[in-house]
Structure 1
């Protein structure tokens, strides 16, 4: 496991929706890590700004995309950030998905070569985590990184991921939540976000390994699929889903609050962490 203490709860948010003020507020609420999503640029300027604005919280990438960012570039950023900010940076890297690039080929071999390049640039295995869904890449995360950062999964997947990783490696899944007690309204918001993933075969394959069918991923996703992937309800319901991941073997859960465009995630984040205290 990484020597960096990410705590039991963090937040996941696209880099374009993060700023230093929000980072400080999240730290003050008591979260242990901020995962920068949306494939941030390799210079990791956003991570630099979030680290500079905070004192304790870990800043992690969730994830740097291996196709768009050369390993040498992200390695230089890794060393710069750790030197400047006292080891509070955790590098998350991943392969993305086939539909994102015309050059996508041999994903597993590409991951291995990327990790080899990070090794050559002296990025320690304990300072990086790997985006992983299937058992083969989960095992690689245990062997070549501090652990795994699965995205868009369920507590059932977390249980299977822990079995694949074994004891010791960090398991830090992301979990989407909607703080809204109206199921219809919450599912509508969830489906807006979920739609793109229902056309990506690595995610669809992951859903099917969990027992979902072609019918579940059609037409915006069945209620059963939406409810399994995106927790909704009051703060107690959301906290219960996060606890489900922890009980299934996660060390840490990264919460992604879904809101209407421009919505503030702070109320939900505050309610969740207060409920779990």
Structure 2
């Protein structure tokens, strides 16, 4: 069966009740999962209205910045969300980047060590491990919960841009969430994740591979292409920008990064090379997006998650749900 998810951005500015309504519409249209992408809001907090508004679709974060919350608190929140959803919740964790975390006043930590220990703490809390966890960054004792978790093995997925984080996800996580990559890059990531799982003695096929597919819906090619360029400045502050988007575009991306650092996203978008935007942002008609989603499936992605982006300032979730929802188009969904 064909599976597809929908991501709702916290930075869309939608109030919780509207996010809940979008989630309910997505479930009715046949989307198998609804995820919250954390911008400047609280993705875990916004999962509560999504859980309440749905009854079948999976619900999760794709992703939430682990550095913002102590792992014990994250585990407790995940337990509540999983119970409220009847076992439909998955926890998607990431490390954001040093620039964003520095602005939030967070201390720097080696991202691989931090997220590996973070996952260990979450799992120790879920399991009620009397030994707790002792690492180089986190040290916790046994953490009691008010009620036993509905699923002590609640799935934990890791957001992974680079090969080292992808390999870590293959070794320790229940799934990986890919982002900011072309279908070709996604295929390489799938190989990395599966190989790491195999080397760790795990079943490679048991690691669910999700990929976020940014999409700017528009029937006008020029409008869609321009909107796609405007997506890139949200990500040019990442330290691995050259590797993510291609060293051949370094000059344009450096100019975009400089503008983005000052808060001038419109100016930054003007410097984004169109091939960069085209590589990881689908744009155009629903058929164009469906074709791009199929490219990710062909690359080995288990669950493509469509992430609608604003076009001319408008977040058009209704159109995306109506035109891409499996129920509306006659496709089956899991």
Q: What does residue 146 of structure 1 align with?
A: 174
Q: Which moved more, 1:90-99 or 1:190-199?
A: 190-199
Separation of aligned partners in 2, 1:276 and 1:249: 23
In structure 2, do the counterparts of structure 1 residues 263 and 122 end up closer, same or farther at CA, with 3 Å as the change threshold?
Answer: closer
Task: Indicate the SS of the match to 1:172.
Answer: strand
Which residue of 1 is the match for residue 61 of structure 2?
A: 61
Q: After the TM superposition, which residues 232-271 of structure 1 pair with which residues of structure 2 at under 5 Å, given as runs?
A: 232-259=283-310, 260-271=312-323
Structure 2 equivalent of residue 106 of structure 1: 110
Q: 2:273 aligns with which of 213, 222, 225?
A: 222
2:135 maps to what in 1? none
User: SS where residue 201 of structure 1 aligns?
Assistant: coil
Q: Are 1:161 and 2:189 an aligned pair?
A: yes
Structure 1 pair 228–275 and aligned structure 2 pair: CA distance change class (3 A): farther
1:180 and 2:218 aligned: yes
Say if 1:157 and 1:25 are closer, same or farther in 2 by CA, change over 3 A: same
1:133-182 CA distance string (max 9 Å, x none)? 11111111122111100122211121011101113111101011122233
1:198 paired residue number:
236
Instruction: Name the Cα RMSD after superposition.
Output: 2.2
**Further displaced range: 267-276 or 249-258:** 267-276
Shift of 1:130: 0.2
2:249 to 213, 217, 237: 213
2:252 and 2:187 map into 1 onto residues whose CA distance is 21
Closer, same or farther: CA 263–147 of 1 in aligned 2, 3 Å: closer
**How far apart are the structure 1 equivalents of 2:174 and 2:252?**
33
Counterpart-to-counterpart distance in 2, 1:212 and 1:247? 26
What SS does structure 2 have at the residue aligned with 1:189?
A: helix
Deviation string, structure 1 residues 103-143 (Cα, Å, up to 9, x no partner): 23311111122112112212656511000011111111122
What is the TM-score of this pair, normalised by structure 2? 0.75
1:85 corresponds to which residue? 85
**C-alpha contact (below 8 Å) 2:208/2:302 kept by paired residues:** yes
SS in 2 for 1:269: helix
1:128 and 2:156 are equivalent in the alignment: yes
Are the aligned partners of 1:97 and 1:202 in contact in 2 as well (CA < 8 Å)? no
Kindly tell me: are residues 106 and 262 of structure 1, through their superposed partners in 2, closer, same or farther at Cα, counting changes over 3 Å? same
Distance 2:231 2:252 in 1: 16
**Residues 153 and 250 from structure 1, CA distance in 2 versus in 1: closer, same or farther, beyond 3 angstroms?**
same
Residue 234 (structure 1) shift:
1.6
Structure 1 runs, 4 residues or longer, greater than 4 Å off: 123-126
Between the aligned partners of 1:10 and 1:52, the Cα distance in structure 2 is 18
Distance 1:8 1:216 in 2: 36
Shift of 1:25: 0.5
Q: Which stretch shows the higher mean deviation, 195-204 or 30-39?
A: 195-204
Larger Rg: 2
* TM-score (norm. length: structure 1): 0.89
